[in-house]
Chain A
Amino acid sequence: MSLQVSDLRVYYRTLAGDVKALDGATFSIADKEIMGLAGESGCGKSTLGNSLIRLDGRMKYVAGSVTLDGNALPIWDNTGMNEFRFRDLSVIPQYAMSAMNPTRKIGKMTGELLESRGENFAAIKPELLRRIDLVGLQRDVLNLYPMELSGGMKQRMVMVISTLLDPSLLIADEITSALDVSTQRAVAETLVSFRDHGFVKSMIVITHDVSILYQIADTILIMYAGKLAEKASTSAIINRPLHPYTRMLVSSLPEVGVRYADKKLSGIPGSPPSLLKPPTGCRFRARCPLAFDKCAEEPPFVEVDTDHWVACWKATGTDA
């Protein structure tokens, strides 16, 4: 087990009160696993990703524990986390296009960052150059300023920098959403190759696009309204989903080949609840066609089949 998260709760402080953006997450990621994390906007997927690497000013750690390779991560302690960042867990942020200091040459910035972490840049540089080759950039990029690179090039450069110290866990946050389909595929395949080359041991790929996850992820974790809904192998999530939300989500996605004239797809009626005062019981209840009395109680996130976790009374059986 590479990563173990247990009952993690992280809220957002707002003037109206705490937004319970991540309200109890328990899951684990195996070595070599690429876990896709999907859900609608506001479901807490980015909160989960951010809270593992760095809580920003408005995020509040409430409860739970995170263990990476046997070490408990002090995620509530910004300075205490520093020794784990970059070396043990790293991130390719959503804002990768603007993540590099605009007034520093990329090579210089990378060097200063590494040296500041006590690494020897000269010793790492050959590996850096190899990886630049690997992602299809010119070695010359190190002598350029970020603004001289296209968006896709910047993204690939950030991917290289973030994984330079071979972290155990990499969090990739919505890194394909702003890209064209052709670049999207290249970036997604690069992520897989990073894992295959052993640059990172395991990975969380956060996205709203389930079809990208089908292409690259080993497992998929579906979130809904701050809670975990379902986690299983990719093929199980796509072909044999158990949670009604997953089922409706997957069946609402048009694919090449599906045509309105032949097969009219439908979405999920209603909208997610406010996380300021979330409803009790199953949070999907109001939109769920299968909802029944039992759903007034909160369904536990349990393993119903080998490596197939779900939080739904219908899936676990009412008598369970």
Chain B
Amino acid sequence: MLSVNRVSKFYRVGTFGGKEMTAVRDVSFDVDTGEVVSLIGESGSGKTTIGKMILKLIDISQGSISLDGADISAIRGSGIKSYYSHVQGVFQDPFSSYNPIFKADRVFGLIRNEYFAGIATSEWNDKVDAAVRSVALDPGQVLNKYPHQLSGGQLQRLLVARALLLDIKILVADEIISMLDASTRIDVLNLLADLKSRGLGILFITHDLSLGNYISEKTVILRRGSVVEMGATEKVFGNPTHPYTRMLVSSVPQLHKKWADVEADLGAPIAGRGGCLFHEAFPLAGRAGLYLPDDPIMVEIEDDHFVGCFELESEKAPGLVA
């Protein structure tokens, strides 16, 4: 349904755009109906940039993103509005997602102004009520309040409800629970997972492996703008192969396993020339720093489990593969 195809994003930095910075490099993945795809990365991995490109909040420098086969970069003018009726987003900071000087349900009001201008007020109120109930909130408790009168969890649910007012196919959820308290975040996470049954495709952007692991069917792991490992969630977590993935898995604090034990369980890194499977398969390719532009350097090590070449990367950024 949503297809991200070899997308890159370059930023011009410096006063007159003298330097160029790559935020996202050659990233491809799909989000299908009824599935949650986790986009996992640390700060600077480009995960939020990808989300914003999907939401057409920033332009794509290279490659394409398409929804049901149609390139979204080509959508302009009034088409943007109808695109947003299919693709919506929820962001990290619930308090920054609401204009603090207005009531929280203004987020619904904007949708009504732009998409349901002709609808009768009673019909609209019913629609809002239904959407609010579908995210397990009591309309009487949350409507007609200012954002600071509601909890972070309630605010994020309201944003999900806002998206549900439209006929959405894709929801981009960018770190939507990282600022919530532990006791409420799991419920918002469960809500996302429940949306799958409505036929939504969800891109779940997070830095937290355990959250991605909890709800997603597919996992994409990003490092410095490039995909290092991706595939079915149980395969990526069951058999983490890229050194970066392994480092992440061994660093994430767990509740019943100490860091040292996790490392012991992971075992020794895969042997070979720096452990890079691509180089084992194509020994000559990397030697001259060869980058094959027509052929993304991802190796399918088992069915639906891809690993990126990290030897080429480490040549570009020495010393960063810890």
The answer to whether A and B touch in the complex, with CB atoms under 8 Å apart, is: yes
Q: Which residues of A contact B (CB under 8 A)?
A: 40-41, 180-182, 184-185, 188-189, 208-212, 214-215, 238-239, 248-250, 252-260, 264-268, 271
Inter-subunit contact A254/B189 (CB<8 Å): yes
Interchain CB contact (< 8 A) of B214 among A180, A188, A208, A258: A258
CB within 8 Å of A: which B247-263 residues: 247-249, 251-256, 258-259
A185 vs B42: C-alpha distance in the bound complex, in angstroms? 13
A-B contact pairs, 17 of them (CB 8 A): A41-B181, A182-B42, A182-B248, A188-B253, A215-B258, A238-B256, A256-B237, A256-B252, A258-B210, A258-B214, A259-B213, A266-B186, A266-B187, A267-B183, A267-B185, A267-B186, A271-B184
Closest to A38 in B: B182
Inter-subunit contact B184/A268 (CB<8 Å): yes
Q: Is B61 an interface residue (CB 8 A)?
A: no
Q: Specify which chain B residues have a CB less than 8 angstroms from the CB of A189 in the assembled complex.
A: 259
A258 vs B183: C-alpha distance in the bound complex, in angstroms? 17
- The interface bits of chain B over 187-208 (1 if a CB of A lies within 8 angstroms of the residue's CB, else 0) are 1011001000000000000011
Number of interface residues of B (CB under 8 A): 37
CB within 8 Å of A: which B204-260 residues: 207-211, 213-215, 233-234, 237, 247-249, 251-256, 258-259
A260 vs B214: C-alpha distance in the bound complex, in angstroms? 5
Inter-subunit contact B209/A253 (CB<8 Å): no
Closest to A214 in B: B255
Q: Is B43 an interface residue (CB 8 A)?
A: yes
CB distance from A319 to the nearest CB of B (A): 30
SS class, residues of chain B in contact with chain A: helix
Q: Is B21 an interface residue (CB 8 A)?
A: no
Inter-subunit contact B248/A258 (CB<8 Å): no
Interchain CB contact (< 8 A) of A257 among B186, B213, B258: B213
Q: Given A267-B184, A268-B183, is A185 in contact with B214 using a C-beta cutoff of 8 Å?
A: no
Inter-subunit contact B254/A211 (CB<8 Å): yes
Q: Specify which chain A residues have a CB less than 8 angstroms from the CB of B264 in the assembled complex.
A: none
CB within 8 Å of A: which B132-189 residues: 151, 153, 181-187, 189
A188 vs B259: C-alpha distance in the bound complex, in angstroms? 11
Q: Which residues of B contact A (CB under 8 A)?
A: 42-43, 151, 153, 181-187, 189-190, 193, 207-211, 213-215, 233-234, 237, 247-249, 251-256, 258-259, 322
Inter-subunit contact A271/B151 (CB<8 Å): yes
Inter-subunit contact A185/B259 (CB<8 Å): yes
Q: Specify which chain A residues have a CB less than 8 angstroms from the CB of B151 in the assembled complex.
A: 271
Inter-subunit contact B210/A254 (CB<8 Å): yes
Inter-subunit contact B251/A181 (CB<8 Å): yes
Q: Specify which chain B residues have a CB less than 8 angstroms from the CB of A248 in the assembled complex.
A: 183
A189 vs B251: C-alpha distance in the bound complex, in angstroms? 11
CB distance from B149 to the nearest CB of A (A): 11
Highest count of chain A CB atoms <10 Å: which of B181, B184, B187:
B181
Closest to A259 in B: B214
Closest to B237 in A: A256
Inter-subunit contact A180/B42 (CB<8 Å): yes
Closest to B150 in A: A271
Q: Specify which chain A residues have a CB less than 8 angstroms from the CB of B259 in the assembled complex.
A: 185, 189, 215
A248 vs B153: C-alpha distance in the bound complex, in angstroms? 17
Q: Specify which chain B residues have a CB less than 8 angstroms from the CB of A185 in the assembled complex.
A: 251, 253, 259
Q: Specify which chain A residues have a CB less than 8 angstroms from the CB of B248 in the assembled complex.
A: 181-182
Inter-subunit contact B253/A265 (CB<8 Å): no
Q: Given A211-B254, A211-B255, is A256 in contact with B213 using a C-beta cutoff of 8 Å?
A: yes
Inter-subunit contact B42/A258 (CB<8 Å): no
Q: Specify which chain A residues have a CB less than 8 angstroms from the CB of B234 in the assembled complex.
A: 259
Inter-subunit contact B190/A260 (CB<8 Å): yes
Interchain CB contact (< 8 A) of A208 among B181, B189, B253: B181
Inter-subunit contact A212/B181 (CB<8 Å): no
Closest to B183 in A: A268
Inter-subunit contact A265/B186 (CB<8 Å): yes
Interchain CB contact (< 8 A) of A211 among B42, B153, B189, B253: B253
